[in-house]
Amino acid sequence: MQQATPLPHFPQFPEPELQRELREHGQLRRFRAGDIVQEAGRYVRMVPLIVSGSLKVSRPAEDGSELFLYYLEPGESCTMTFSCCLADRPSEVHAVAESDTTILVLPRRVIDEWMPRYRSWRNFVLTSYDRRLRELVRTIDDVSFHQLDDRLLGYLRKRGQLSPDGTVHASHREIAEDLHVSREAVSRLLKGLERHGRVILARNRISLREL
């Protein structure tokens, strides 16, 4: 039986029948900040729909480090999951709950089954591919063409937006790992930003002063 609390609303799926199916086949899962949601190399059996919170997706490197790729935010699903489910291959990325996060998980067969049946679902899947592909391309040219200071600012902005208080909760080491640079480089850049009043630093805390 389902609880009194109505399952989260996904306005992008207007068809009542689809809403009903979401309710019927979906299962709510909660993760606390830091929980591993998907390990790289493991097979994916479920399709996640982010209800609240966010997931941090990164690409593990050979040497055990990771390069941050993107966040999954409410209303989104994971394109990588679609790919993996359709091709029946293990995940190539790693997902960790960035904050406390609620996800609606669906059995993977729904990807195929709902595509021809529900226009909004089909649109959702395709749009998801489109968006993620664009974002990945952006990440690539970010890495190859942008200077570290720009990358750092972009990173802080994104993380700031996701944080309820607009403050990035992370150590310099953690940021350095995400951006694949040395911790010292991050420390020095942040210090510089602080001198210019662009940022307020505290231990494990960075608040960006935009505008």
Which residues contact DNA by CB under 7 A?
Answer: 147-149, 171-173, 180-182, 184-185, 187-191, 194, 201-204
Cβ proximity to DNA, 167 vs 187, nearer residue: 187
Q: Closer CB to DNA, residue 88 or residue 165?
A: 165
Q: How far is the CB of 145 from DNA (least distance, A)?
A: 11
Contacts of residue 14, Cβ cutoff 8 Å, sequence gap at least 6 = 120
In angstroms, what is the minimal distance from the CB of 21 to DNA? 44
Q: How far is the CB of 201 from DNA (least distance, A)?
A: 5
Nearer to DNA, 196 or 203 (CB): 203
Instruction: Specify the residue for token string 């960006």.
Output: 208
The one-letter amino acid at 159: R
- Report how far apart, in Å, the C-alpha atoms of 184 and of each of 158, 201, 203 are: 22, 15, 15
Q: Which amino acid is at 101?
A: T
Instruction: Write down the least CB distance from residue 189 to DNA, Å.
Output: 7
Q: In what order do the strands lie in the sheet with 205-208?
A: 167-168, 205-208, 199-202
CA of 9: how far to CAs of 4, 51, 199, 207, in Å?
A: 14, 9, 37, 32
Pairing of strands 36-38, 66-72: unpaired
Report phi then psi at 79, rounded to 5.
Answer: -65, -35
Order of strands, sheet of 36-38, starting from the edge strand that comes earlier in the sequence:
36-38, 94-97, 55-60, 66-72
* Shorter beta-carbon distance to DNA: residue 111 or 201: 201
Quote the least distance from Cβ 169 to DNA, whole Å.
10
Question: Judged by CB, which is closer to DNA: 88, or 203?
Answer: 203
Q: At closest approach, how far in Å is the CB of 175 from DNA?
A: 8
Cβ closest to DNA, residue 120 vs residue 163: 163
